[in-house]
Amino acid sequence: MQVHIEQEVLMKGVNHTLGVVDKKGTLPILSHCLIQTNGSGLIVSATDLETSFRGFYPAEVLEPGTFTVQAHALHSLAKDLPKGRVEIRGDDRQVKLEVGESRYKFNTLPADQYPPIPEIGEEGLVELEAGLLLELIDKTVFSVGDDLQYHLSGVFWERVKHEGEAWLRLVSTDGHRLSLAERLLPGVERLELGEGILVPAKAVREIRRFVDGYAREGAVKAGVRNKALCLKAGDKELSVRILDKKFPEYRRIIPEEFRHTFTFSRQELAAVLKRISLLTQGPFRGVIFTFSDGAAEIAHENPEVGAGRETAGILETAGDLAEPLQIGFNARYLLEPLQVMKGEQAVLSVNDPGRPCRIMDPDNPHCYSLVMPMSM
Give the tens place of pLDDT for each residue, 260-297: 999 999 999 999 999 998 888 766 678 999 999 899 99
Q: Assess whether pLDDT exceeds 90 at residue 122.
A: no
Nearest residue to 357 (alpha-carbon basis) of 370, 375, 338: 370
Determine contact, residues 301/283, Cβ cutoff 8 Å. no
Determine contact, residues 373/355, Cβ cutoff 8 Å. yes
* Residue 336 DSSP symbol: H
Between these two residues, 7 and 352, which has the higher pLDDT value? Answer: 7
Task: Give the max Cα distance, the chain.
Answer: 80
Stretch 245-269: mean pLDDT? 94
* Residue 186 DSSP symbol: T
H or E segment at 38?
Answer: strand 32-38
Give the tens place of pLDDT for each residue, 124-153: 899 999 999 999 999 999 999 775 555 578
Between these two residues, 23 and 233, which has the higher pLDDT value? Answer: 233
Give the pLDDT of residue 149: 59
Q: Helix, strand, or coil here: 277?
A: helix
d(CA 10, CA 187): 34
Give the pLDDT of residue 25: 72
CATH superfamily of 2-113: DNA Polymerase III, subunit A, domain 2 (3.10.150.10)
Q: Helix, strand, or coil here: 320?
A: coil
Burial 204-229 (b: 16+ CB within 10 A, else e): bbbbbbbbeebbeeebbbbbbeeebb
Please, what sign has the CA dihedral across residues 331, 334, 335, 336? positive
d(CA 83, CA 326): 60
- Predicted model pTM: 0.91
CATH number, span 126-250: 3.10.150.10
Chain-centroid distance of CA 363 in Å reads 23
Stretch 190-195: mean pLDDT? 93
Could you tell me what percentage of the chain is helix, strand and coil, using 3-state DSSP and rounding each to the nearest 5?
20, 45, 35
Range(s) within the chain of domains with CATH label 3.10.150.10: 2-113, 126-250, 255-371
- Mean pLDDT is lowest, of 3-17, 80-94, 259-273, for 80-94
In the chain, the percentage of residues whose pLDDT exceeds 90 is 79
Give the pLDDT of residue 118: 85
Fold adopted by 255-371: DNA Polymerase III; Chain A, domain 2 (3.10.150)
